[in-house]
Amino acid sequence: MILIAILFIEVIILAKCDLVAKNAKWLSFILFSLLSSFAMAVFRSGFGIQQALVSRYITITSLAIIGIYLLALSIYNMNSKNKMHRSMMAIILIILFFGLTSGYMYGLIEGPSFSVSRMDDAYHLKTYRLQPDNNLAGLYPDPKIVRQRAPILERYGLNVFAEGYDNMNSSNDLLTDRFYNMHNINNTIQQSVSRYKIMLRGVNKLFV
């Protein structure tokens, strides 16, 4: 909401200064991102609110954030002494800093667990004939489609059925080691993040 409000102010400033055409490429970034986000929100709403938090959508939404930042930078460079221009730039930089920090911390925590879950999914796909539907649902919401399409991958030697895949994962010990290594990494990262959060709370108390 804050970024949208800043975008509205940016467009007004650009229009007053006749700089819309000069920044058309950044406006096109934003327009494409907003229209695509709207389309995704409408056509994927049936999957529930949690679908909006799926990480792959950042490839679309980040274009709008980039565009808003670059518009603010263009306006700031036009008149860096203007208080409004400086304020907009400062707000966007603060949002970017905290957004990137929280995103990276989330990735560090979830990354190892995500890697382990993908190892499980690979095993379920490899042994799809033996797996119950609830295990195959992790690969695709409809297990019947997994059972229909997995034979195609198997027939053409793709994905987990590729030649050499078994050699790469020939040892159960290797998979076990990977599993526990990822969990150890995950635990270490969570401890570091917890210490970082405690440190931030301590800093906040000093200024409050």
End of a domain among 30, 56, 78? 78
Q: What is the DSSP string of 75-111?
A: HHHH-TT-HHHHHHHHHHHHHHHHHHHHHHHHHHHHH
Q: Is residue 99 part of a domain?
A: no
Per-residue pLDDT of the chain (208 residues; tens, 9 = 90+): 888 898 999 999 999 988 889 999 999 999 999 999 899 888 888 777 777 777 788 888 889 999 999 999 999 998 888 888 888 899 999 988 988 888 888 778 777 777 778 888 888 999 999 999 999 998 988 999 999 999 999 999 898 888 776 655 544 445 555 555 555 555 555 566 566 556 656 655 555 4
Choosing from 25, 56, 78, the residue where a domain stops is 78
Q: Residues 195, 142: one domain? A: yes
Domain assignment of residue 50, given as a range: 2-78
User: Quick one: 121 and 35 in the same domain?
Assistant: no
Same domain, 190 and 128: yes
Nearest to 7 by CA among 82, 55, 66: 66
Give CA–CA dist 172/175, Å, rounded. Answer: 5
Same domain, yes or no: 115 and 200: yes
Tokens of 43: 């056509």
Token duo for residue 112? 């190892």
